[in-house]
Amino acid sequence: MSMIIDRRLNDRNKNATNRARFIRRYKSQLKRSVADVVAERSITDMGRGGEVGIPVKDISEPKFRIGQGGDREMVHPGNHSFSPGDRIAKPQGGGGEGEGGDGQGEGGEGQDNFMFTLSKEEFMNLFFDDLELPRLARNVLGDAKQFTFRRAGYTPSGVPSNLSVRRSLQNAMARKIALAAPLKRELRELEESGADPQEIQDLKDRIDRIPFLDEYDLRFRHKVKEPKPISRAVMFCLMDVSASMSEQKKDLAKRFFTLLYLFLNRKYEHVELVFIRHTSNAEEVDEHAFFHDPQTGGTVVMSALNLAEDIIKDRYAPDQWNIYGAQVSDGDAFGSDPQRSAAKLRDDILPHCRYYAYVEVPDNASSITPLGAAYSQIHSENFAVAKVMGRRDVYPVLRELFQREAA
Amino acid sequence: MSETVKDRVLSRGGDWDFDLLRSYDREIASIAKEFGLDTYPNQIEVIASEQMLDAYASVGLPISYTHWSYGKEFIRNEEAYRRGMRGLAYELVINSDPCIAYLMEDNSMPMQALVIAHACYGHNSFFKGNYLFKQWTSADAIVDYMVFARKYIFECEQKYGIDRVEETLDACHALMDHGVDRYHRPSPLSAQDELRRQHERAEHARKQFDDIWRTLPRKEKQGDDDAPAEAANFPPEPQENLLYFIEKYSPTLETWQREIVRIVRKLAQYFYPQGMTKVMNEGWATFWHYTLLNTLYDRGLVDDGFMFEILQSHTNVVMQPGFDHPAYSGINPYALGFAMFRDLRRICESPDAEDRAWFPDIAGRDWREVLDFAMRNYKDESFIAQYLSPKLIREFHLFAIADQAKNDFVEVAAIHNDEGYRDVRRLLSRQYNRDILVPDIQVLRYEHMGDRSLLLRYTRLRDRPLTDDAKEVLKHLSKLWGFTVSMEVFDEREGVVDRIDVSPAR
């Protein structure tokens, strides 16, 4: 006799480990592929999974196989015109048709790349792999200004609109059963013993008098007030794009901005980005231009700060937006520009900002740059300066930057 | 429609439920019994499509150890499925006792019935009856063994690190086709025995261990004078089971690595009969779902709608496109196998003069006996050599092409005519010979008294070379071996024509 078992509710992800192993094994190739995807993607799209590819030849498993060449016979179906002794020219370029069955294995579709889709988590892990991002470092940023209500069980008192009919009736039913049970038992005994009808009637009346719904039964949905941050945030990305900022430095900058964006995105429902690039004068641009358009010219940091201030005034009122700033530069600045910029930042911009980070990507780690020197004079709770030399530094810097605020 | 007929029909429409599955299974089982099919008990498991994808990946076993290549398979199937490039198999059946068959929940009732007939009675009886399966697999132990293997490899990963285990497994997988010795019957599997054996090994090592040996001064190496004569003769005869040879004689493998080699070898053994009986196995199962379900229909247990759906699906399965058709990808084992079993039945039931001339010993006999005998005692190669009839050669329009390296053309060697039948049959049968599918590579010499190098020999048939993969496989092998591994290419006429040496990377 057969046994029929319903396994549909069993675990569906038996291969999660095997999949993870595959990704682990081809990490370096996948990282390259992820990097390509990232380069084309805008920061706001970063929190998605993505399709990546690995060259098929990299993932094939070698086996001893018999290859093309030598002598062989093959039997095929569907002859409609051949007679014994017929000759057919061999197709150019090796084997081709007529050698179908032999040693092809793998069942590949003949594509060069093994394409597949990474989940968001897998994608981010690969993307941030060099950043040494720990799993748990998800600190809450900033404090709350708004409140939200969250369901938190039931309570015996409340306003009628929060009444839970189901819960209340459940309670009522339980109470009725509990109160009526002894009376009903007594009633049954009386009826069996043939007692006085009046007594039975009294008892029945008592049972009927148990109220359908009592005040004790009522239950209200309980809601607690929870602090909620302003749900909107804007992130100003400021970058020096003068000639001294190489592609590699911009790449570091992009990673830093991306990471910051992802942090903010976890905290706020809605995050907007403003890209301001500057050489000797500043302009607001879209993301692509921000990272990829080459610009040449001098460096006037002040211009970017002025533009940022104007944009804040125009579009992002500080009482409605959480304003974050992140500035990346190689630290070059000339003349009085660094001092004036530091003052501008301290007096006009920082007061409106939840947080402002200055990240320097200098040519060598030990040098002190003019802008860095000027900025380090600013002492403010919500301002931080850090240096990033390589990809590995990006995350620790970000972590350091935000630690104080999280505390 | 009269009431009596209506009463007999088991169900109408596509919906199924568990009661219906049970009643279909009961009816199919009783018909199968009438036809004399001997099966393991069935364990039918209903699963969702994602679970089918899971089942695919672990090469058709309900459980397997962790390895990236299964992840690759899983991702490949999943992507193909998500993009609609590939449907899922309706069923998957495992050679185990009880015989586990998976039904997909999305199948309609007729499809479920088809799968039950195909897998639970067709494949199942083949697993139980065919001589190769009987000799090479232990259906009652395989699931336990895989549970053991999974656990063991998991523990190895904990102890020795994922990378080392992965490296060992990769190397073993590369040699998996060479983990079978065709001429020795393997001992039956038992997870318990495996565990016991392991404990004994470990216990023996523990008892033998004495740290003081380490402190003894090493004996000076003695002259190698008498060694070479002996060394040249080891192994005394060439060994074709490379994995077994490595497991036994590798000079460098640690105990746990030997166990892993053993696990892969056992797995290779388990799959060996399936590779040798594709046409027969699928043909047998297809023949029986066709026969069993038609009997259901003849007895009025299913309606016309049911049968239309079955036949449509059946027709797709047994379709054989011609060589010049875009969908052609070799001979469809379902089509050939099904046609051959049907043809056998025809030869038994209504033989004509040609059949009597070609198959005097079976023409006119009881078809059930003849089919049963064929199923039990043949593999694809011998089955085709024995039973492919001229009529089928004509029906399939089979023809043979000779491809010789020295010519810039291929020649039609034989077609479906009187002169060609025997040639076509012989050549087709040879196509299923293992030497065509898996190159003949054997261990020739192990310099166990010398530099510990290992020499393999590829015996080249008719100038057919190995692919470039060979060097990669040898690298894997040298990792397991720990010393230089070489392979010579041996041609019967010309002798040794080529040689590859690979030293382990250190």
Nearest to B66 among A17, A79, A97 (CB): A17
The CA distance from A111 to the nearest CA of chain B, in Å, is 12
Dig out the tokens for A77 from the structure. 């179906």
Q: Say whether pLDDT at B171 is over 90.
A: yes
Q: What is the reported pLDDT for A403?
A: 56
d(CA B255, CA B264): 15
Q: What is the reported pLDDT for B174?
A: 94
Give per-residue pLDDT as tens, B79-117: 888 777 666 666 788 899 889 999 888 888 999 999 999
Q: What is the reported pLDDT for A331?
A: 82
Q: What is the reported pLDDT for A99?
A: 39
**Pairing verdict, β A232-240 and A322-329:** parallel
3-state SS, B196-228, equals: HHHHHHHHHHHHHCCCHHHHCCCCCCCCCCCHH
Looking at chain A, which residue has its C-alpha nearest residue B409?
Answer: A89
Which amino acid is located at B494 in the chain?
E
- Asked if A75 and B420 come within 8 Å (Cβ–Cβ), the reply is no
Give per-residue pLDDT as tens, B402-432: 988 888 888 998 888 888 899 999 999 999 9
**What is the mean predicted confidence (pLDDT) over B376-397?**
94
Q: How many CB pairs under 8 A join A and B?
A: 264
Q: What is the reported pLDDT for B398?
A: 94
A68 contacts on B by Cβ (under 8 Å):
465
Any alpha helices (H) in B277-420, and if so which ranges? 278-298, 304-317, 333-349, 353-358, 367-377, 380-387, 390-396
Asked if A141 and A226 touch (Cβ cutoff 8 Å), the reply is no
On whether any CB of chain A is under 8 Å from the CB of B409, the answer is: yes
Which amino acid is located at B461 in the chain?
L
Looking at chain A, which residue has its C-alpha nearest residue B56?
Answer: A15
Q: What is the reported pLDDT for A77?
A: 93
Q: What is the reported pLDDT for B339?
A: 96
Asked if A254 and A291 touch (Cβ cutoff 8 Å), the reply is yes
Q: Rg of chain A over CA atoms, in angstroms?
A: 36
Q: What is the reported pLDDT for B261?
A: 95
Give residues with Cβ within 8 angstroms of A39, minimum separation 6.
none
Best of A74, A92, A115 to substitute, by most chain B Cβ atoms within 10 angstroms, is A74
Give residues with Cβ within 8 angstroms of B504, minimum separation 6.
B478, B479, B481, B482, B483, B484, B485
Residue A30 exposed, middle or buried by CB count within 10 Å (0-12, 13-18, 19+): buried
d(CA A78, CA B322): 4
B400 contacts on A by Cβ (under 8 Å):
73-76
**What SS3 state is found at A212?**
coil
The CA distance from B52 to the nearest CA of chain A, in Å, is 9
Q: What is the reported pLDDT for B226?
A: 46
First to last CA, chain A: 66
- HSE, CB side, 13 Å, CA atoms: give it for residue A298: 10
B427 contacts on A by Cβ (under 8 Å):
73-75
Nearest to A98 among B74, B401, B470 (CB): B401
- Asked if A18 and B462 come within 8 Å (Cβ–Cβ), the reply is no
A62 contacts on B by Cβ (under 8 Å):
174, 469-470, 472-473, 476
Q: Say whether pLDDT at B396 is over 80.
A: yes
Number of Cβ within 10 Å of residue A4's Cβ equals: 18
B399 contacts on A by Cβ (under 8 Å):
75-76, 79, 82
Alpha carbon A318 to chain centroid distance?
Answer: 26
On whether any CB of chain B is under 8 Å from the CB of A85, the answer is: yes
- Asked if A115 and B54 come within 8 Å (Cβ–Cβ), the reply is no
- Asked if A77 and B322 come within 8 Å (Cβ–Cβ), the reply is yes
A99 contacts on B by Cβ (under 8 Å):
403
- Asked if B331 and A77 come within 8 Å (Cβ–Cβ), the reply is yes
- Asked if A13 and B54 come within 8 Å (Cβ–Cβ), the reply is yes
Q: What is the reported pLDDT for A375?
A: 87
Number of Cβ within 10 Å of residue A53's Cβ equals: 17
Nearest to B463 among A61, A71, A85 (CB): A71
On whether any CB of chain B is under 8 Å from the CB of A55, the answer is: no
Nearest to B54 among A14, A76, A97 (CB): A14
Q: Say whether pLDDT at B3 is over 70.
A: no
- Asked if A4 and B22 come within 8 Å (Cβ–Cβ), the reply is yes
Pick from B248, B222, B245: which is nearest to B449 by CA?
B222
pLDDT mean by block of 10 residues, chain A; 407 residues = 83 82 87 76 70 82 88 89 87 47 39 79 70 34 57 87 91 91 88 82 87 88 74 83 78 79 70 86 84 77 89 85 85 84 88 84 80 84 80 71 50
Handedness of CA A39, A40, A45, A51 (dihedral sign): negative
Dig out the tokens for B61 from the structure. 């076993």
List the single range of A32-46, B345-359, B452-466, B483-497 with lowest mean pLDDT.
A32-46
- Asked if A65 and B325 come within 8 Å (Cβ–Cβ), the reply is no
- Asked if A4 and B411 come within 8 Å (Cβ–Cβ), the reply is no
Q: What is the reported pLDDT for A140?
A: 36
d(CA B236, CA A278): 80
B324 contacts on A by Cβ (under 8 Å):
78
Assess whether the previous peptide bond of B235 is cis (omega < 30° from 0).
Answer: yes
Give per-residue pLDDT as tens, B296-342: 999 999 999 999 999 999 999 899 999 888 888 889 999 999 999 99
- Asked if A76 and B398 come within 8 Å (Cβ–Cβ), the reply is yes
The residue ranking higher by pLDDT, A385 or B149, is B149
Best of A9, A33, A79, A83 to substitute, by most chain B Cβ atoms within 10 angstroms, is A79
The CA distance from B106 to the nearest CA of chain A, in Å, is 11
On whether any CB of chain B is under 8 Å from the CB of A75, the answer is: yes
- Asked if A22 and B322 come within 8 Å (Cβ–Cβ), the reply is no
A28 contacts on B by Cβ (under 8 Å):
none
Best of B76, B97, B177, B488 to substitute, by most chain A Cβ atoms within 10 angstroms, is B76
Q: For residue B140, what pLDDT band results from cuts at 50, 70 and 90?
A: confident
Any alpha helices (H) in A153-246, and if so which ranges? 165-193, 197-209
Q: What is the reported pLDDT for A39?
A: 67
Q: What is the reported pLDDT for A130?
A: 52
Looking at chain B, which residue has its C-alpha nearest residue A4?
Answer: B44
Beta bridge partners of A273: A235
Any alpha helices (H) in A14-138, and if so which ranges? 16-25, 27-40, 56-59, 120-127
ipTM over 0.90: no
Q: What is the reported pLDDT for A369?
A: 84
Q: What is the reported pLDDT for B158?
A: 93
A61 contacts on B by Cβ (under 8 Å):
69, 170, 173-174
Nearest to A18 among B66, B329, B402 (CB): B66
The CA distance from B365 to the nearest CA of chain A, in Å, is 29
Q: For residue B216, what pLDDT band results from cuts at 50, 70 and 90?
A: low
The residue ranking higher by pLDDT, A348 or B384, is B384
CATH code of the domain made up of A229-406: 3.40.50.410
**Pairing verdict, β A383-387 and A355-360:** parallel
Give per-residue pLDDT as tens, B24-62: 999 999 999 999 999 999 999 998 888 888 877 766 787
Give per-residue pLDDT as tens, B107-132: 889 999 999 999 999 999 999 999 99
